[in-house]
A and B are shown apart, each in its own frame.
Chain A
Amino acid sequence: MGEAKGGPVGFVGLGKMGFGMARALLRKGYPLVVLQRNKRAAELAGQGAEVAEGLAGMAPCRAALTSLPGPAEVREVVLGPGGLADHLRPGSVVIDTSTSGLPLARELAERLAERGILSVDAPVHGGPDAAEAGTLHVLAGGETEAVEAARDILEALGERVHRAGGPGMGQLAKVLCNTLNHTQYVALCEGLVLAAKAGIDPELFFQVLASGSGDSQILRYRVPRILEGDFRPRVRLDILYKDLELGLEQARLLAFPLLLPALAQQVVQRGRAAGLGEMDPTSLITVLEKEVGVLVRKRAHRGEA
């Protein structure tokens, strides 16, 4: 391959994560092209980004990043009619930071290679704050040439850039991490409700868990907000459902049964059925609480003496 060394960087998808990443790139001096249809494009224009009317405006870019909800959206933007594949020049690189799964990453790598375009799957760990600060952990998969073409951009996004392997392996690692995390989160919620029903003060139980074998990243990240009754969406419960779907799909492709994640997805589905899809995953606890008549809250939030 080769060519396409210079040029700006395109960014498609300015959600909570995408917006933060785009800002980090701007701050680090990358000339950025964003799409007019993104609600927050004007804000970025004020900080120096170029605003394009459509994906054709990304033709001069050396790299195009995507940060989209899932595989369907990424596929449409990259391979759909008038998609990035139709506009980018040979030697440029598509970097998909979305969590979109291994099968799509492999498909993108193959289809883009037909046009001489490189492809990196680069899903990220870390929330909107880390995106903004450029301190994400990037799980990069792709051919060596592609990862090297994208490396400076990946390093601008993240404080850690892990090389997961060939095309799709970054997505695989990310999907497995998410499936692990979300399933353990549901198991944690079950334990929290059980302890509350047994009469143990939830705040005290949190301290007990954090002091020993029950400690985990997800405990520290979500349970303090559960105790406060803070269900404002940092991410949406819908995303947990989608992430678990990607894990189960990966398992299905390998004819491998994933028992607990399948059950966890059904618990998440109950939350969505109760209208919590747009709420934070912390809200899932309310579904379990209602069944047994307890509240996993600090004393002050339980309305007791």
Chain B
Amino acid sequence: MPPPAVGFIGLGKMGAPMARRLLRAGVALRAYDIRPEAIRALEAAGARPAASPAGAAEGAGVVFTSLPGPKEVEEVTLRPGGLAEAMAPATIHIDLSTSLPSTTRKVGAALGERAVEMLDAPVAGGAEGAEAGRLTLMVGGARKAFLRAKPLLDLVGGDPSKVFHVGPLGAGHAAKLANNLIHLTGFVVSCELLVLAAKAGLDLDFLYEVVCEGPWSVSFRNKVPRVLRRQFLPPRSTLEMCHKDVELGVALAKELGVPLTLAPAALQLYQAARALGWGELDGAAVVQVVEAYGGVTVRSAGAS
């Protein structure tokens, strides 16, 4: 059975490469973004343009959204004349955004009234992972809908072994938020220790090597080289996005009544970095807040 025609709404840093992966696999795709130039770029890759989110749903068996957060997802789907009204019964809406489970369930309920299925399928792995086909997908929703959508989800992520069905609708977003809290909080800890090391006069390239051999984490391994080279532009993921991700994770904990000790403190450091005007730099630039406390800069001996 050929894959159904799809609609794709949100062609940003993550959305565009994921949509291109579908196009490359021969999927017929209608694309929409609030920025006309983003639509044109995808047209060049073979997509048909849509004039609105509702337009992207025309004739589509599956509609993807890849949007900044819960506010935008709710706006695009539930506003009058929005996506929910345009989708036909028995079609599936797959939200690839990082969003809040409570928003997802609200949208899912509205779609359910029109017999439209919803899956939340947030992705981890960044724009590079999206380009390379190495994304992790955390999918929530009914198993039947998941199995129907699995071939498309595999195309979006690139590695079927990294497409996880983690539970009912909203579970995908919850898993993604908890995953984000772990590595984004962990990265703030890395920053604190790097600055302390610099202040104490330890060779930072040496520390990087030792940590990578010992108590490594993916976020330390991938982001610390950017810090040591002072490479905050172009952003892999902006500090603004990192802040939003931690904020959503803390919001989820609040909804569930789960006390968190470290994550809210990390959130405040991301907040401080935004206040200092670094929001559009790479998230690794949060190190600059800690450096301000320490009065030292963390850089590789070889970095200019």
**Segment of B53-61, B69-77, B227-235, B258-266 in the binding face:** B258-266
Q: Is B166's CB under 8 angstroms from A204's CB?
A: yes
* Chain A hits for B202, CB < 8 A: 164-165, 169, 172-173, 176
Query: Majority SS of interface residues in chain A?
Result: helix
Cα distance, A173 to B197, chains bound together (Å) = 8
Number of interface residues of A (CB under 8 A): 63
Q: Is B167's CB under 8 angstroms from A199's CB?
A: yes
Q: Is A187's CB under 8 angstroms from B262's CB?
A: yes
A198 touching B256 in the complex, CB below 8 Å, given contacts A208-B179, A213-B218: yes
Q: Is B214's CB under 8 angstroms from A205's CB?
A: no
Q: At the interface, yes or no: A56 with Cβ under 8 Å from chain B?
A: no
Q: Is B178's CB under 8 angstroms from A204's CB?
A: no
Q: Which chain B residue has the least Cβ–Cβ distance from A124?
A: B214
Q: At the interface, yes or no: A297 with Cβ under 8 Å from chain B?
A: no
* Chain B hits for A188, CB < 8 A: 182, 186
A207 touching B168 in the complex, CB below 8 Å, given contacts A187-B262, A190-B260: no
Q: At the interface, yes or no: A162 with Cβ under 8 Å from chain B?
A: yes
Number of interface residues of B (CB under 8 A): 69
Q: Is A197's CB under 8 angstroms from B261's CB?
A: no
A172 touching B200 in the complex, CB below 8 Å, given contacts A199-B174, A200-B175, A208-B164: yes
Q: At the interface, yes or no: A160 with Cβ under 8 Å from chain B?
A: yes
Q: Is A184's CB under 8 angstroms from B210's CB?
A: no
Cα distance, A213 to B124, chains bound together (Å) = 7
Query: Majority SS of interface residues in chain B?
Result: helix
* Number of inter-chain CB pairs below 8 Å: 222
Q: Is A260's CB under 8 angstroms from B211's CB?
A: no
Q: Which B192-228 residues sit within 8 Å CB-CB of chain A?
A: 192-193, 195-197, 199-203, 206-207, 209-211, 213-220
- Partner among A169, A214, A217 whose Cβ is within 8 Å of the Cβ of B214: A217
CB distance from B105 to the nearest CB of A (A): 12
Q: At the interface, yes or no: A292 with Cβ under 8 Å from chain B?
A: yes
Q: Is A258's CB under 8 angstroms from B219's CB?
A: no
Question: Could you mark each residue 127-156 of chain B with 1 if its beta carbon is under 8 Å from any beta carbon of chain A, else 0?
Answer: 001000001101000000000000000000
Q: Is A263's CB under 8 angstroms from B196's CB?
A: no
- Partner among A164, A176, A191, A216 whose Cβ is within 8 Å of the Cβ of B178: A191
- Partner among B200, B252, B293 whose Cβ is within 8 Å of the Cβ of A194: B252
A209 touching B182 in the complex, CB below 8 Å, given contacts A186-B262, A254-B199, A292-B256: yes
* Chain B hits for A191, CB < 8 A: 178-179, 181-182, 185, 263
> What are 30 of the A-B contact pairs (CB < 8 Å)?
A137-B210, A162-B209, A169-B202, A172-B202, A177-B211, A177-B214, A179-B193, A184-B189, A184-B190, A187-B185, A190-B263, A194-B253, A195-B174, A197-B257, A198-B101, A200-B175, A205-B175, A205-B178, A208-B136, A212-B162, A213-B179, A213-B180, A214-B179, A215-B218, A216-B186, A216-B216, A217-B217, A258-B192, A259-B269, A260-B192
Top 4 nearest A-B pairs (CB, nearest first) are A216-B217, A198-B174, A181-B215, A191-B182
